[in-house]
């Protein structure tokens, strides 16, 4: 690890990928634990969560070798994050008859974070040179397990709130962290089609491709990229709209 500490680029890369592991573990375990707190039948919710996880793994088999590791990871995180954040509106405005929409959004969030959780195991070793690869993966995994320890407490945040937001609050935290990790991962280099670096110098020289080029100009890759940015824009738009609405409501009351 001393070699990593001698390179600012590698220190930054280690911090970003560590945060991605942290969020992947928080989202994966947290959404699983939270499946019994979003309404409906806990057994059905958990079954749907498992099905979404299986779908995510099969999707990874198709995506990582076609649009790249970084693009797949970022798209998965953004999809999961946006879905979780959108639960703000289903909890606030949807009637009891539409409570299934919150369950659906949480399940989509589980799909996204499950895919990201699988991809990060492939992506991480390819970012570090042979001399520190195993220790870097071990450190990242260690940071990720801290997220796993924290996840039950985030899932229990709803117990601190008496209003309807008790259902959405954990999902908001999960969603915000996923979007942050998805955006930060865009700063990492794409590793698809590259030889594994042997030294620190080779790892540092892995420049970030332009996003379009890293997707190899494939229509599917461009669609995933565009979809991610559109989801992010829509998410931020509605988030700020919600904040303004809450501020106005507080003024009236």
What string of DSSP letters covers 62-95?
A: HHTTTT-HHHHHHHHHHHHHHHHHTHHHHHHH--
Instruction: Provide CB contacts within 8 A for 125, sequence distance 6+.
Output: 133, 136, 137, 196
pLDDT of residue 229: 53
pTM assigned to the model: 0.79
pLDDT of residue 219: 55
Q: Which two tokens stand for residue 251?
A: 């003024």
Q: Which residues in the chain come in under a pLDDT of 70? A: 1-3, 94-98, 207-253
Question: Do the beta carbons of residue 70 and residue 206 sit within 8 Å?
Answer: no
Quick: pLDDT tens for 188-199: 888 888 888 888
CATH of domain 2-252: 1.20.1250.20
Cβ count within 10 A of residue 89: 17
pLDDT of residue 22: 93
Q: Which two tokens stand for residue 168?
A: 């959405």
Kindly report the length of the chain: 253
């Amino acid at each position: 690890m001393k070699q990593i500490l001698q390179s600012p680029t590698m220190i930054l890369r280690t911090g970003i990928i560590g945060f991605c592991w942290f969020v992947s573990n928080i989202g994966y375990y947290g959404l699983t634990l939270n499946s019994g707190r979003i309404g409906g039948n806990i057994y059905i919710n958990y079954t749907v969560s498992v099905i979404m996880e299986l779908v995510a793994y099969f999707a990874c088999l198709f995506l990582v070798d076609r649009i790249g590791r970084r693009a797949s990871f970022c798209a998965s995180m953004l999809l999961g994050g946006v879905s979780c954040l959108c639960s703000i509106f289903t909890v606030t405005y949807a009637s009891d008859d539409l409570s299934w929409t919150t369950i659906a959004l949480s399940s989509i969030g589980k799909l996204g974070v499950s895919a990201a959780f699988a991809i990060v195991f492939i992506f991480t070793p390819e970012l570090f040179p042979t001399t520190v690869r195993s220790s870097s993966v071990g450190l990242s995994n260690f940071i990720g397990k801290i997220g796993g320890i924290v996840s039950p407490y985030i899932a229990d945040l709803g117990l601190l709130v008496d209003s309807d937001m008790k259902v959405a609050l954990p999902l908001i935290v999960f969603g915000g962290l996923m979007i942050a990790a998805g955006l930060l991962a865009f700063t990492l280099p794409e590793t698809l089609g590259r030889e594994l670096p042997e030294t620190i110098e080779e790892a540092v020289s892995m420049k970030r491709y332009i996003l379009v080029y890293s997707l190899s100009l494939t229509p599917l890759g461009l669609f995933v990229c565009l979809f991610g940015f559109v989801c992010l824009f829509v998410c931020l738009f509605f988030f700020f709209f919600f904040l303004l609405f809450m501020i106005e409501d507080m003024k009236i009351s």
